[in-house]
Amino acid sequence: MAHHKIECRGLFKHFGEGPRRVTALQDVDLAIADNEFVTLVGASGCGKSTLLRTLAGLEQRSQGEVLVDGRPVFAPGPERAMVFQHYSLYPWLSVIGNIKFSRQLAWQARDRSSSDVEAAAGRADALLRLMGLSASAQAYPSQLSGGMQQRVAIARALMSRPQILLMDEPFGALDAQTREVMHDLILHVHRLERTTVVFVTHDVEEALYLGHRVVLMAPRPGRVDTIYEVPLPARREQRMKLAPEFLALKGRILERIRETSGMKTDLEQLERLTRAAEGAKESTT
Ligand SMILES: Nc1ncnc2c1ncn2[C@@H]1O[C@H](COP(=O)(O)OP(=O)(O)OP(=O)(O)O)[C@@H](O)[C@H]1O
């Protein structure tokens, strides 16, 4: 059997009961390879966050299986780390304090040796350097820009050497220039740490620039609609966003999202309505 890092089989997730029941995930089958970078896109309400939260073990499935390394997961675990859109840093801790915090909680439960503490200090320093935060180690979150705060959140998520990074619109609140910088940074982190990444976004360009594959989901019920292979070299560069194959696939995905959202603007119908309204105006004048 092929080895998958993450696998969903016949996954369903319902919220609520009876006529109010919402199917956020319907029969999702998805296999993600070790070290793959997969992005999830789709119209609002298509179940992207629910799928990610189910992989994280923050949401219980209604039916089906979620496997990590072939083993079913039901709860959060140290091999999976989550990064959210809102930085969720502790405002009373410095940058370095925030990065070390989750490890400290884990240690309080165990006997820790001085070599553990040293190893963690080394890891925290390495992550500060990796994320370009060395000069801000003693700063507090309120003193940092949004992009810097999100770097701290990513460094904190990486502290326990997770094999899987689950990212829910992590750059959604950042301006366009900061996002570009963060894109190259997260690709660098992915290469260096060899994590498997599942990344939710509304932004099709972001999904294509980062992903090896783009999973397009559709709403009502939430489900996987189409999976696209991204036709770009593994090593991405910003100029690739202008490549004809990049732009063509971006156009196709955007079109498919419009179709699946049920909100496709029907230009003909709009024109008919306009003509009817104008006709009504003329007949009254
Ligand atoms: N805790 C909940 N209780 C009830 N319904 C929920 C809950 N969480 C999600 N849903 C519903 O499940 C569906 C999928 O929601 P989800 O947030 O996963 O979609 P999404 O694709 O991430 O949306 P968006 O792009 O708007 O963030 C939606 O109809 C949503 O209203």
Report angle CA 214, 220, 222 to the nearest 5 degrees.
40
**Residue range 94-112: mean pLDDT, rounded:** 71
ipTM: 0.97
With a cut of 80, say whether residue 282 has pLDDT above it: no
**Mean pLDDT, all residues of the chain:** 89
* pLDDT tens digits, one per residue of 57-90: 999 999 999 999 999 999 999 899 999 888 689 9
**Residue range 163-170: mean pLDDT, rounded:** 95
Q: Give residue 164's pLDDT band: very low, low, confident or very high (50, 70, 90).
A: very high
Domain ranges of the chain: 6-79+162-284, 92-161
More confident residue, 172 or 271: 172
* pLDDT tens digits, one per residue of 214-238: 999 999 999 999 999 999 998 999 9
Helix (H) or strand (E) holding 128, with range, is helix 114-130
**166 three-class SS:** strand
Nearest CA, atom 7, ligand 1: 15
* pLDDT tens digits, one per residue of 89-98: 999 999 999 9
Which residue among 50, 58, 257, 260 is best mutated to probe the pocket of ligand 1, counting the most ligand atoms within 8 A of its Cβ?
Answer: 50
Q: What single letter denotes the amino acid at residue 204?
A: V
Tokens linked to 197: 């990444």
Class of domain 6-79+162-284: alpha beta
| Poorest-pLDDT segment among 7-16, 67-76, 107-116, 237-246 | 107-116
Euclidean distance between the first and the last CA atom of the chain, given in angstroms as a whole number: 75
Which residue among 41, 48, 168, 223 is best mutated to probe the pocket of ligand 1, counting the most ligand atoms within 8 A of its Cβ?
Answer: 48
